[in-house]
C-alpha cells in the first residue's frame, strides 16, 4: 500500500548517482525515466543526476546546466591527458579524478608511490583563468597518495631536496623533501571561495589515514603503506616548519586524507571541508527540483554499508525526508536491510538482481534491466 500523497503523483525527481562500471548518472536517469513512462506515459519526470564529489562530478554538473571546459593536463604518471571541469557564471566544479584518477592510469598499471596530483593543480589553475570565484573541488577515485604536493606545485609551491633539486613525483618522493616554499602560490587563491567536497573524513596519516585505509586500493603493498605514511608525516612536518602550526592541525583535520591526501593540500590552500553530496546538491539546484516533486528516486550501483557514510543516495534521501517527500532507491546490488534503509530515509530499494539474479548479466545489460525495475516502481507508487 502506498501513501495517498504519493499515489497518483505526476511529479517524479530522479536524483541518482552512477552505477559504477555500468551506467553513468545521466544514463541511470534516462533509463529510469523510460521505464516509468512505459507504465505512466504522461508522467512528469525531472532528471537531476548527482555525484558526491568523486568521479562523475563534472558530468553531473554539466547535466545540470554547467558548461564543460576541456584542457590538456598532466595525468598521474606525467603523460598529458584531456581533462574537464565545469563552469557556470563564476562557479567552477573541478573533479580531481579527471586529471589524477585511477581511470587515467594505463590498463593494469598502478603507481602508489609515484602517481602525482600535478594535473589536478593545473585544472584548478584553469578554473581560476576562466574567472572562477567559487571553486567546488570534488575529490575521490584518485590514483595518488602524494598529500596534494603535486597539486600545490602546479599552483606555484616549490618542494626541494637537501641539494636544492625538485623532489621526485608522488608520495614516495616526499621522503626526500627538505624545503617547502609556498610564497609563490597563485595569489588568486586568496580571494576565491574554495570548497573541498568529499565523503571521506579521514586524517592525513595514522591507522585511519590516507595510506593505511586507501593505499591498498591503489596498489600499495604493506611496505608501501608504511613508506607512504612516513613520507606524508614528514611532508606535514616540513610544511609546519614553512608555514606554522596550522600545517599540523590541517593534517589531523577531517578530510585531510581524502583522495590520497589531496584534501590536506586543499586545506593548506584555505579550502573549507564539506560533505561532497551536500555541496553538490546545493550546486546542482536540488532544492527547487525537490519542491516540484512528490516522489524522489535515488540510487547507486551498490547500496551497502558504505552508502550510509556520506554517499549520494543517503544525502538525497536526507534532504528529501526533511521536505517530507517519499524516497525510493534503485541499485545494482542491495546489501542493506529494509529497517536500515528506512532509518536512512529510503522507503524501499529496488535492485537489478531482483529482476535478473545473474550478476554478470546485470552488469552487462544494466540499462534494459533498470528500465524493468523502474516499471515496478511505477506500478507500486504511481498507479
Q: What pLDDT score does 7 carry?
A: 44
Q: What pLDDT score does 74 carry?
A: 98
Cell match 536500515: residue? 340
Do 147 and 261 form a contact (C-beta atoms < 8 A)?
yes
Model pTM greater than 0.75? Answer: yes
How far is CA 119 from each of CA 49, 191, 219, 332, rounded to the nearest angstrom? 26, 22, 20, 33
Distance CA 232, CA 377 (A): 48
Do 154 and 133 form a contact (C-beta atoms < 8 A)?
no
How far is CA 42 from each of CA 38, 39, 118, rounded to the nearest angstrom? 9, 9, 49
* Mean pLDDT along residues 133-157: 97
Q: Please, which pLDDT band fits residue 9 given cuts at 50, 70 and 90?
A: very low
Distance CA 263, CA 269 (A): 10
Per residue in 270-323, pLDDT (tens digit) is 999 999 999 999 999 999 999 999 999 999 999 999 899 889 999 999 999 999
* Mean pLDDT along residues 250-263: 97
Do 345 and 320 form a contact (C-beta atoms < 8 A)?
yes
* Mean pLDDT along residues 367-373: 98
The phi and psi torsions of 152 (rounded to 5 degrees) equal -65, -35
52: Cα separation from own chain's centroid: 4
The β-bridge relationship of strands 158-160 and 67-74 is unpaired
**In whole numbers, what is the pLDDT of the chain averaged over residues?**
95
Closest CA to 145 of 219, 241, 85: 219
- Residue 206 three-state SS: coil
Percent of the chain with pLDDT over 70: 97
Rounded to 5°, angle at Cα 117 from 70 and 62: 30
* Mean pLDDT along residues 76-105: 97
The β-bridge relationship of strands 91-95 and 80-88 is antiparallel
* Mean pLDDT along residues 43-71: 95
Q: Please, which pLDDT band fits residue 348 given cuts at 50, 70 and 90?
A: very high
Residue 355 grid coordinates: 529482476
Distance CA 53, CA 145 (A): 18
Task: Please check the confidence at residue 143 and state whether its pLDDT lies above 60.
Answer: yes
Per residue in 103-125, pLDDT (tens digit) is 999 999 999 999 999 999 999 99
Task: Please check the confidence at residue 379 and state whether its pLDDT lies above 50.
Answer: yes
Task: Please check the confidence at residue 3 and state whether its pLDDT lies above 50.
Answer: no
Task: Please check the confidence at residue 356 and state whether its pLDDT lies above 70.
Answer: yes
Q: What pLDDT score does 310 carry?
A: 84
* Mean pLDDT along residues 154-177: 98
Beta strands in the chain (DSSP E): 11-14, 44-47, 67-74, 80-88, 91-95, 134-138, 158-160, 179-181, 193-198, 272-275, 295-303, 326-334, 348-351
Distance CA 373, CA 383 (A): 15
* Mean pLDDT along residues 330-345: 97
- Residue 272 three-state SS: strand
Q: What pLDDT score does 13 carry?
A: 98
- Alpha-carbon radius of gyration of the chain: 21
* Mean pLDDT along residues 177-202: 96
Per residue in 263-282, pLDDT (tens digit) is 999 999 999 999 999 999 99
Task: Please check the confidence at residue 202 and state whether its pLDDT lies above 50.
Answer: yes
Task: Please check the confidence at residue 56 and state whether its pLDDT lies above 50.
Answer: yes
Do 173 and 147 form a contact (C-beta atoms < 8 A)?
no
Task: Please check the confidence at residue 8 and state whether its pLDDT lies above 70.
Answer: no
Task: Please check the confidence at residue 228 and state whether its pLDDT lies above 50.
Answer: yes
Q: What pLDDT score does 10 carry?
A: 64
Amino acid at each position: 500500500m502506498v501513501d495517498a500523497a504519493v499515489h497518483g503523483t505526476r511529479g517524479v525527481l530522479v536524483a541518482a548517482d552512477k552505477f559504477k562500471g555500468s551506467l553513468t548518472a545521466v544514463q541511470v536517469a534516462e533509463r529510469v525515466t523510460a521505464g516509468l513512462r512505459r507504465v505512466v506515459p504522461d508522467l512528469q519526470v525531472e532528471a537531476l543526476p548527482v555525484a558526491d564529489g568523486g568521479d562523475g562530478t563534472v558530468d553531473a554538473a554539466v547535466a545540470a546546466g554547467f558548461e564543460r571546459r576541456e584542457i590538456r593536463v598532466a595525468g598521474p604518471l606525467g603523460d598529458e591527458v584531456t581533462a574537464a571541469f565545469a563552469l557556470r557564471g563564476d562557479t567552477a566544479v573541478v573533479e580531481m579524478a579527471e586529471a589524477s584518477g585511477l581511470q587515467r592510469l594505463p590498463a593494469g598499471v598502478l603507481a602508489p608511490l609515484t602517481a602525482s596530483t600535478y594535473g589536478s593543480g593545473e585544472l584548478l589553475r584553469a578554473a581560476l583563468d576562466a574567472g572562477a570565484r567559487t571553486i567546488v573541488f570534488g575529490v575521490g577515485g584518485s590514483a595518488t597518495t602524494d598529500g596534494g604536493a603535486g597539486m600545490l606545485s602546479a599552483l606555484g609551491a616549490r618542494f626541494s631536496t637537501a641539494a636544492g633539486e625538485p623532489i621526485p613525483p608522488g608520495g614516495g618522493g616526499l621522503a626526500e623533501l627538505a624545503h617547502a616554499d609556498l610564497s609563490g602560490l597563485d595569489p588568486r587563491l586568496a580571494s576565491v571561495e574554495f570548497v573541498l567536497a568529499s565523503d571521506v573524513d579521514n586524517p592525513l596519516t595514522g591507522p585511519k589515514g590516507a595510506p593505511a585505509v586507501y593505499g591498498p586500493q591503489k596498489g600499495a603493498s604493506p611496505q608501501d603503506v608504511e613508506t607512504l605514511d612516513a613520507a606524508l608525516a614528514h611532508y606535514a612536518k616540513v610544511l609546519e616548519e614553512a608555514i606554522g602550526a596550522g600545517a599540523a592541525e590541517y593534517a589531523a583535520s577531517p578530510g585531510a586524507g581524502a583522495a590520497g591526501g589531496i584534501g590536506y593540500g586543499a586545506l593548506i590552500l584555505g579550502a573549507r571541508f564539506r560533505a561532497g553530496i551536500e555541496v553538490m546538491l546545493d550546486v546542482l539546484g536540488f532544492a527547487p527540483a525537490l519542491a516540484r516533486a512528490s516522489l524522489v528516486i535515488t540510487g547507486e550501483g551498490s547500496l551497502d554499508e558504505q552508502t550510509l557514510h556520506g554517499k549520494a543516495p543517503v544525502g538525497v534521501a536526507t534532504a528529501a525526508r526533511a521536505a517530507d517527500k517519499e524516497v525510493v532507491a534503485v541499485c545494482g546490488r542491495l546489501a542493506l536491510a529494509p529497517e536500515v534503509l528506512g532509518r536512512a530515509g529510503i522507503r524501499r530499494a529496488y535492485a537489478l538482481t531482483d529482476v535478473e539474479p545473474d550478476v554478470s548479466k546485470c552488469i552487462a545489460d544494466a540499462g534494459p534491466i533498470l528500465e524493468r525495475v523502474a516499471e515496478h516502481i511505477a506500478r507500486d507508487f504511481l498507479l
